[in-house]
Structure formats: C-alpha cells, structure tokens
Structure 1
Amino acid sequence: MDKPAELGDFLRTRRARLQPAAVGLTSYGARRVPGLRREELAQLAGVSVAYYTRLEQGQSQNASDDVLDAIARALQLSEDETMHLRNLARPTRRKRRTAPRPEAARPGTKQLIEAMDGIAAVAMDRRSDVLAWNELGHQLLAGHYDADSPYSAETRPNLTRMLFLDPHTRELYSRWDEEAKRSVASLRLVAGRHPDDLHLAELIGELSMKSTEFAGLWSRHPVLNCTFGTKHFQHPVVGQLELSFEVAQLPDDSAHRILMYSATPGTASEAALRLLLSGVDDLAGYSADPAHREV
C-alpha cells in the first residue's frame, strides 16, 4: 500500500465532509470542491498552509503526534479515524520482504471455539481469512463450503471476499449494505496498520477490480473498528436471525481474532441457532448443492 497516497486520500475525504459553517468559518466565493479548503483546515489546526499541503501530498512523513492530533481535532475525527491517521502518517519501516508463512489457528484456539455451546464462532486472521470454525459457525456463515476448507490455504474462505463476490453470502445478510460498509471500514483500518501486507493488498486489488460496490465504498475511505454489534441474517435453512456479535483479539502477536455470534436467550433467533446445530435434513442438501461453491 502506498502510505503517502493513502494519507492524502484520507485527509481529502475528511476535508470534503466538513462545511465551513460547521466549524465556525465564514465562506467566501464559489467553491470548486465540497468541504473545507486546505488553508481553512490549516488555520483550524494551527499549522502553515505549506506544511499541511506537503502532508496531504505525501511529501512529509515526520509529522509529530501533536500536529496530527491538532489536524484530527480540526477534522472532527473519531477515535478510530485518529488512530488511522497516525498509522498512515508514520514512516514505513523498511523490511526485507520474505514470503509470508502460511497462517494457521493454534490448536488451543480451535479447542476453545469448539467448546463454545450455542455460539457460532470463527477464528480468522487480520485479512478475515477463516482459519477455523466450530460447527455452528460453519453452518451459519458458510454451509455451502466444505467443513475442512479453512485448514488449507488453497481452499480457505475469506469473509470479505465472500461478502462481495459470493451471491449466497450476499443473500445471507438481510441488511447487506450495512454489512458491506462495516466490512470495508474495518478492512481500511487493518490496511493502515499493515501497509506491507502483500496478501492484503492483493485482496483489496481483487475486490476493487471485481466489485464496483467494493470499489465505491473503498474510495470513500471509511474507517471503523467493528468489534461488537448486531447483525441480521436471512439463513437459507432456518430463516431470519438477529444475532449479537463480538470480536476478540488473541493476546499474542498473530493478529488472529475470534468472531462470535450469539442470540438473546428465549428468542426465536436462539431457537433457530439450536435448530441449525441439530443438523436438520435440509442442511445436508444445501451443503451438497454443486451450485453453492466458492466464487
């Protein structure tokens, strides 16, 4: 990832969403582009126009935290967006590029998610490649994939790729637009943290080429650390579900995460999850359907 270009793109999108009146400035003359001008943003942040221009054009990679915080305040950035700004503005440490080692879930991680009762759980890496899942996680998110597909790099599902390129996954989310925005915003944050991840760059490039919806969302530079919330499903076997989700980061340097879905006790969604786990007859037919293959 070209960090200077990404930094400039991020700053321009955030300038564009602010109107002068919203930050206490008076607008004079016609504006060729929406939002604040560079000189207005520089004034609000207390930096010179020349310095801010160099920063936005990717010609300055040594901005202090104080300057970045001032710019973040002027742009009214969220906590996640401020973190992303700092990641993009930091100089890239030059490292010798080597072939990345194949990712794999630790045995203890697989044991943990398999022991979760009534919870659909998926272990994934920072790119959202699925490294392991329990039976309920498999049946909820990808019953049309082979149960062993996460355990080989050649067949491993990627949740973001599935969301944009797999029509069966698109049908799974009854609020697909909401899920798509959340997915891209999370991926943007990861890309800012790991600019040298070649596999991540390949994934972003593939999705940008194959999905106009992904490309459109990516160009807006959304940023959000999506670690909890609610998702709505229209499952092909058990119908509608409203599930809470939590994402837990493993306490090591792997950047692996566990995505967990649960239902409120006593609800129809809880009953649907139990039915899904019980192995109703329709599940086998759905999984075996040759039309339900990875795109």
Structure 2
Amino acid sequence: MTDEPNLLGAYVRARRELVTPEQVGIPVLGVRRVPGLRREEVAMLAGISADYYLRLEQGRDRNPSAQVLESIARVLRLDEEATAYLLGLGSAAPRRRRRRARKETVPPGVVQLVTALPLPALVEGRRFDVLAVNSLATALSPRFTVGANRLRDTFLDPAEQALHPDWENAGAGMVAGFRRSVGTDTDDPGVIDLVGELSLASPHFSRLWARHDVAGCTGAAKDLDHPRVGRLRLHRERLDISGTTGQTLVVYHPEPGSDSAEKLALLAAALPTP
C-alpha cells in the first residue's frame, strides 16, 4: 500500500455524500444510515462493479481509466470544471513531498503594471498569497497588502468579513477556487500549513473544505461595504499571468458614471501623492 494521500478516493467519497438518491432517480425506502448515495449505488449507476468502486475509494486502485472516471462524474453530477479535476486526480503521478514551500516571484513588468494602473489591482499567487498590490487596492481593503493571504483573511479577519455583505458565499467560492488552483499539489508545505491552520481556526472553512468543491475563480460583480464610502459594486476581473505557475492579476473596476465610480474616485483622491 502506497503512503501517498488518497486524493481520488477522498474526492469521490465527499462528492458521493452530497448527491441525494432522489437526484439520480433512486426511490428512498425507510431510513438511510449514510448521507448521499451508497457506494454500491454509485457503482451500479456508473456501470462498474461495487468491489472495484470500493477499491477506488479506499485507494487500492489508483489508475482508473478516463471512461470510468467520466461515468462516476456523471453519477456524481459533476460539472465540467469538477470533472476535469477528477480526471486530473486519476492521472496524477506520485510525487515526493517537498521540504520547502515554493517561492513565488512576480515578473518585474507585472509589478510595474500593477503600480501604474488607475484601478485597484493586485497579483495573487497559486496559494492566494498577495504578491503585488497598488495603493488604491489597499485603500479598498487594508488586507490587500503584500504578504497577506486572501483565504486566511476571508475566514479569520472580522474586518474582511464585514467588507463582504455575503461573506459566507464569498468564502465558499474562494475555497472551491483554492482547491482548483492547488490541484493535486497538496504536498506543498505552504498548502498543508494553510489548510491545517484554517481547519483548526474556522469551522466554516473546515466544512467547506470537506465538501471538495472545485470551481474556477472567474470575473464577477462584487458588492463591498466600505467603512468610509459605503456600498460599492465593482467588477472583478482575473487574468492569468503568462510565464508563471498559477499567478493571477486581479483588477476591480466600476461601471462608468456610476455611484460606485464616484466613491472609488473619492478613495483615489484621498491617497497620498506619490
């Protein structure tokens, strides 16, 4: 038996427990002792043997075919993003655990761009560390500062939670995006330390992490309750930075001529002159 973590088994088990029998057309008779679907029900619906599915969950078989994984994904009602993640788990090669967290360095030209932009902008690393930021972004949230971690602040900093009117849903999306960002690279000590810290300190994070949700962090409109200018609605754009491993340029911008544009201009006007 390998000492590698059983990522595939943990993922399908967590997702199996979130699918109800009614969702897949199985009648419920009497009291069910397990949440979601039973293993044998998943196996039956996926067209594989119950013993083989059990081996997958237990990590005794770690090389399923793409066809088997796609069948399981269909039963577990995974979307395209989650199915791709599942296929990645099935094809991931074993790796030796790293002794140090990988240092992330932002290309100098990107740092210059972030500084020059007249909009709130920052660079996030693959572990959601803030790697570069401009002063208008810091005016939007003091937690937007180099060295901070967006995931940690979202779940542990009350001031950051107060900035987001619907912070619990915002946190759920961030956890799903974090899992997609780190992928199968869970032997990264930085990931291990961060997940361990948040799991102990935040029951909400712990529940979300146990769901194994996977989703890309995409552009979206965000409502923010700023302590100085009040409610803002800004569009958040996320752009992958070429030549890096998982770094993202994040830019916030308002609708032109909107009340939020005026409030953002007030924050900009209050910044110290460079």
TM-score (norm 1): 0.84
**For 1:29 and 1:53, how far apart are their aligned partners in 2?**
24
1:17-28 map, 5 Å: 17-28=18-29
Matched residue SS, 1:193: coil
Partner of 2:13: 12
Q: Kindly indicate whether the alpha-carbon contact (under 8 Å) linking 2:88 and 2:184 is maintained by their aligned counterparts in 1.
A: yes
Partner of 1:123: 123
TM-score (norm 2): 0.90
Report how far residue 192 of structure 1 moved.
2.7
Task: Structure 2: state its 5+ residue gaps.
Answer: none
Q: Note if 1:261 corresponds to 2:252.
A: yes
Report how far residue 28 of structure 1 moved.
4.6
**For 1:43 and 1:183, how far apart are their aligned partners in 2?**
34
**For 2:100 and 2:9, how far apart are their aligned partners in 1?**
29
Report how far residue 10 of structure 1 moved.
2.3
Deviation track 1:188-243 (CA, whole Å, cap 9, x = no partner) reads 22333322211011111011111122112212222211211121111112111111
Q: Kindly indicate whether the alpha-carbon contact (under 8 Å) linking 1:14 and 1:75 is maintained by their aligned counterparts in 2.
A: yes
Look up the equivalent residue of 2:89 and give its one-letter code: L
Q: Which of 160, 163, 175 matches 2:151? A: 160
Look up the equivalent residue of 1:122 and give its one-letter code: L
Return closer, same or farther for 1:242/1:199 CA change in 2, 3 Å cut-off: same
1:269-284 map, 5 Å: 269-279=260-270
Q: Kindly indicate whether the alpha-carbon contact (under 8 Å) linking 1:62 and 1:91 is maintained by their aligned counterparts in 2.
A: no
Q: Kindly indicate whether the alpha-carbon contact (under 8 Å) linking 1:41 and 1:74 is maintained by their aligned counterparts in 2.
A: yes
1:21-60 map, 5 Å: 21-60=22-61
Q: Note if 1:213 corresponds to 2:204.
A: yes
Look up the equivalent residue of 2:152 and give its one-letter code: R
Q: Kindly indicate whether the alpha-carbon contact (under 8 Å) linking 1:228 and 1:246 is maintained by their aligned counterparts in 2.
A: yes
Q: Kindly indicate whether the alpha-carbon contact (under 8 Å) linking 1:247 and 1:259 is maintained by their aligned counterparts in 2.
A: yes
Q: Kindly indicate whether the alpha-carbon contact (under 8 Å) linking 2:176 and 2:214 is maintained by their aligned counterparts in 1.
A: yes
* RMSD, matched Cα: 2.2
**For 2:186 and 2:53, how far apart are their aligned partners in 1?**
22
Partner of 1:289: none
Report how far residue 52 of structure 1 moved.
0.6
**For 2:81 and 2:71, how far apart are their aligned partners in 1?**
15
**For 2:109 and 2:271, how far apart are their aligned partners in 1?**
29
**For 1:20 and 1:113, how far apart are their aligned partners in 2?**
49
Partner of 1:202: 193
Return closer, same or farther for 1:226/1:54 CA change in 2, 3 Å cut-off: same
Q: Which of 196, 213, 222 matches 1:222? A: 213
Matched residue SS, 1:21: helix
**For 2:82 and 2:212, how far apart are their aligned partners in 1?**
10
Return closer, same or farther for 1:63/1:199 CA change in 2, 3 Å cut-off: same
Partner of 2:173: 182
Partner of 1:81: 82
**For 1:180 and 1:101, how far apart are their aligned partners in 2?**
25
**For 2:154 and 2:19, how far apart are their aligned partners in 1?**
31
Q: Kindly indicate whether the alpha-carbon contact (under 8 Å) linking 2:97 and 2:188 is maintained by their aligned counterparts in 1.
A: no
Over the matched positions of the two proteins, sequence identity in percent amounts to: 40
Q: Kindly indicate whether the alpha-carbon contact (under 8 Å) linking 1:2 and 1:195 is maintained by their aligned counterparts in 2.
A: no
**For 2:204 and 2:182, how far apart are their aligned partners in 1?**
18
Task: Structure 1: state its 5+ residue gaps.
Answer: 151-155, 282-295
Deviation track 1:70-120 (CA, whole Å, cap 9, x = no partner) reads 111121101121122123333433247353453221111111222322x21
Return closer, same or farther for 1:122/1:2 CA change in 2, 3 Å cut-off: farther
Deviation track 1:132-157 (CA, whole Å, cap 9, x = no partner) reads 01221121122x67xxx52xxxxx11
Partner of 1:97: 98
Look up the equivalent residue of 1:123 and give its one-letter code: V
**For 2:98 and 2:37, how far apart are their aligned partners in 1?**
39
**For 1:235 and 1:76, how far apart are their aligned partners in 2?**
38
**For 1:190 and 1:255, how far apart are their aligned partners in 2?**
7
Matched residue SS, 1:102: coil
